[in-house]
Amino acid sequence: MKYVDEFRDPVVAKRLIATIEAQLEQLGRPVRIMEVCGGHTHAIFKFGLEDMLPDGIDLVHGPGCPVCVLPVGRVDDAVAIAENPDVIFATFGDAIRVPGSEKSLLQAKAGGADVRTVYSPTDALTLARNNPDKNVVFFGLGFETTTPSTALTVLQAEAEGIENFFVFSNHITIVPTIKAILDSPDQRIDGFVGPGHVSMVIGLAPYQFIAERYKRPLVVAGFEPTDVLQSISMVLAQLLDGRADIENQYRRLVKPEGNPAALTALTTVFELRPYFEWRGLGSIDHSGLQLTEEYARFDAEKKYAVPALSVADPKACQCGEVLKGVIKPWQCKVFGTACTPQRPIGACMVSSEGACAAYYNYGRLSTTRHLVEAK
């Protein structure tokens, strides 16, 4: 397939792996690299990259899955809004099964709430147009990748004078998250494979603090197997040179300046919250996005009272440790037994970008590296 097969060429992949092996041998020590984005985690397991890499490369799976980092309390808030009789609650499919403290949105739907799966915020806006007697609430999720589409939909609702469209914003930002990980005392990261789609919007400049303050390399990467392998090699090259730079492997899509039009829409409609709670990471200052005062009439949190409580994860679930890269999914005591995609305990097993789901679907039968890591 044109423009896909080129990035899945086994000859190129073997050449890159040989280069990585040589770089690691020259470096003379193990290297711990975090791939921030859940899309990279799934690519790594789908294409078997972790088993191809030398044992000295330890890939750590980061918090770049927006559904996974959604705390239990915010799920409870979503359910509370959805159970209002005048509400059509519109959500992406991978959020509908995330467990709250008592129920998920899917269980709320089974109990009579009008919860509908949509593929974009514009689908939710169409629901608002077609159901003028209902208030349609869109479950706004995602990093800077998806936030501009929500912002543009709000602007469209304003232009059309639609008054029954609202956003329950759980949009988040990537940079404070990476900073929280770097500040964590129990984490040692040598370098990062940076998120490609987020970077398509925000560009490269927001990551400069990682190189300048923390002296860690970050390479923005694409999502095909040779993209990931080349990015790992680029991180190793920086470590060998004693450098810490922000580099762009995904140049066919990511521009250094990002996407100015998307950023304009985002900053017009949204502003940073003083703080926002993340699953496993706790409260992180200025990491969440809320609608600005100018667009507050579209804010579901102002329209509906929500509990807004901080609710602890189930004791059996170690999703928080997985998101911080402290443990691998298979090290969680309920992974693949009490917690499966069919009966999830934590969000990491639910989302299409979740690390636990990636391990379960692609990597749970591969034990060689697991045994090496456990020693």
Give the range of the structural domain holding residue 94, as residue numbers without chain letter. Answer: 72-173+258-303
The whole-angstrom separation of Cα 26 and Cα 241 is 11
Asked if the structure places residue 341 within a domain, the reply is no
pLDDT at 261: 97
Residue pair 91/105 in contact (Cβ under 8 Å)? The answer is: yes
Both tokens of 324, joined, read 């911080």
Provide the pLDDT for residue 363. Answer: 64
Nearest to 218 by CA among 22, 37, 17, 19: 37
How many structural domains comprise the chain?
1
Residue 202 lies in a domain: no
Give the residues of the chain that fall short of pLDDT 50.
365, 367-375
φ, ψ at 276 (rounded to 5°): -150, 140
pLDDT of residue 40: 93
Residue 133 belongs to a domain: yes
Q: Is residue 84 part of a domain?
A: yes
61: closest CA among 345, 319, 286?
319
Domain membership flag for residue 265: yes
CA 267, 273, 279, 284 torsion-angle sign: positive
CA 200 to chain centroid: 15
- Distance between CA atoms of residues 162 and 192, nearest Å: 43
pLDDT digits (tens, 9 = 90+) for 355-372: 888 888 876 545 444 433
Question: Token match 């290297």: residue?
Answer: 31
**Residue 151 is which amino acid?**
A
Tokens 């159970």 -> residue = 83
Per the domain annotation, does 151 fall within a domain? yes
C-alpha span between 291 and 269 (Å, rounded): 6
Report yes or no on 266 lying in a domain.
yes
Contact 174, 198 (CB under 8 A): yes
pLDDT of residue 2: 64
DSSP β-ladder status, 218-220 and 246-248 = parallel
Provide the pLDDT for residue 364. 53
Give pLDDT tens digits for 9-60.
899 999 999 999 999 999 999 999 999 998 898 899 889 898 899 999 999 8
SS3 labels along the chain: CCCCHHHHCHHHHHHHHHHHHHHHHHHCCCEEEEEEEHHHHHHHHHCCHHHHCCCCEEEEEEEECCCCCCCHHHHHHHHHHHCCCCEEEEECHHHCCCCCCCCCHHHHHHCCCEEEECCCHHHHHHHHHHCCCCEEEEEEEECCCCHHHHHHHHHHHHHHCCCCEEEEEEEECHHHHHHHHHHCCCCCCCEEEECHHHHHHHCCHHHHHHHHCCCCCEEECCCCHHHHHHHHHHHHHHHHHCCCCEEECCCCCCCCCCCHHHHHHHHHHEEECCEEEECCCEEEECCEEEECHHHHHHEHHHHCCCCCCCCCCCCCCCHHHHHHCCCCHHHCCCECCCECCCCCCCHHHCCCCCHHHHHHHHHCCCCHHHHHHHC
d(CA 132, CA 26): 66
- The pLDDT assigned to 321 comes to 79
Q: What is the pTM of this model?
A: 0.88
The answer to whether position 165 is within a domain reads yes
CB-side neighbour CA atoms (13 Å) of 231: 33
Place of tokens 């209902």: 134
Q: What is the pLDDT of residue 143?
A: 94
Specify the CATH number for the domain of residue 264.
3.40.50.11740
